[in-house]
Amino acid sequence: MAMMAYDDPAAAAFVATRHLPAEGLASWRAAVARHLPVRPGARVLDLGAGTGAWAAAFRSWYDVRVVAVEPAAAMRARSAYPGMVAGRAEALPLAAATVDGAWLSTVVHHLPDLPSVAAELRRVLRPGAPVLIRSVFAGRSAGVTLFRWFPEAVRVLDGYPSVAEVCAAFEPAGFAPVALTPVPQVSARSLRDAADGLRRAAHTPLTLLDDADYDRGVRRLRAAARRTPGVPVVDVLDLLVLR
């Protein structure tokens, strides 16, 4: 089971607040291009594609064909990417050896059987194709500003898989880590925008907080936004690459 269900309210909150501004995407374009086969016509799997923002970006940036697979009907219904496919990570609706790379963005903590996911990715990927995992991993929260205002949410993050756990889960399927790169991103143009746009249902760690801890965090965030309203929000997430 996922750590949270992406029903209609959660999907609407995701659309409202989780899409990065254009300047937030630039660093990821460069980071991904170092590892992903980006020749025109390459076929890339976006696993847990959400509302298709990354799939649309990849197609625009690299002129690749993106197969966007998303299990939640509420997310697919709000997709900005045409041709979103229903499917689960453990049983991908793809033929063997037909994909040149796989992208998993902030989804690995929703996959309870990572060894099965790894085996399925091994099946659909062509030999030597990479798996790129964008995530906040357990024990690596320092670069994420959300946890400054909601420090209690770090205990939720502790339930996410660590880098070591992901690597161990993928090893039996023949994957080995080749890179772990912290990637800075502009998550919001200002702290005021971040405070005004916050939607609890869009963030797994906030959804799993109790109400009192969440309310305290909102007060901290709004107080910081009043002090420095125009400061951009820059977060650092990890890009883990396995082959």
Q: What are the pLDDT digits (tens) for 211-223?
A: 999 999 999 999 9
In a domain? residue 24: yes
Q: Is 199 exposed, middle or buried (0-12, 13-18, 19+ CB in 10 A)?
A: middle
User: What count of other Cβ atoms lies within 10 Å of the Cβ of residue 136?
Assistant: 23
Name the domain count of the chain. Answer: 1
* pLDDT for the residue numbered 3: 54
Half-sphere CA count of 52, side-chain side, radius 13 A: 20
Residues 161 and 114 sit within 8 Å (Cβ to Cβ): yes
What is the dihedral angle through the alpha carbons of 193, 236, 228, 25, rounded to the nearest 10 degrees? -40
Token pair in block for residue 155: 């205990």
pLDDT tens sequence across 174-186: 999 999 999 999 9
CATH value at residue 19: 3.40.50.150
Predicted confidence (pLDDT) at residue 13 exceeds the cutoff of 70: no
| Residue 219 backbone dihedrals phi, psi, to 5 degrees | -65, -40
In a domain, 221, yes or no: no
Q: For residue range 91-141, what is the model confidence (pLDDT) as tens digits?
A: 999 999 999 999 999 999 999 999 999 999 999 999 999 999 999 999 999
- pLDDT top residue among 22 and 87: 87
Whether 168 maps to a domain, the answer reads yes
Q: Tens digit of pLDDT for each residue in 154-167? A: 999 999 999 999 99
The pTM of the full predicted model, rounded to 2 decimals, is: 0.93
Q: 20 or 143: which carries more pLDDT confidence?
A: 143
Range of the domain at 167: 8-143+157-187+235-242
In a domain, 132, yes or no: yes
Q: What is the pLDDT of residue 180?
A: 98
Q: What is the reported pLDDT for 84?
A: 93
Residue 100 lies in a domain: yes
Share of the chain above pLDDT 90, in %: 84
Q: Is residue 222 part of a domain?
A: no
Bridge-based pairing state of the strands 177-188 and 131-135: unpaired
In a domain, 224, yes or no: no
Residue 194 has pLDDT above 80, yes or no: yes
Examine residue 117 and state whether it is found in any structural domain, yes or no.
yes
B/e letters for 157-185, b = 16+ CB within 10 Å, e = fewer, are beebbebeebbebbeebebebeeeeebeb
pLDDT 10s digits, 22-35: 777 889 999 999 99
pLDDT reported for residue 1: 36
What HEC string does 50-117 produce? Answer: CCCHHHHHHHHHHCCEEEEECCCHHHHCCCCCCCCECCECCECCCCCCCECEEEEECCHHHCCCHHHH
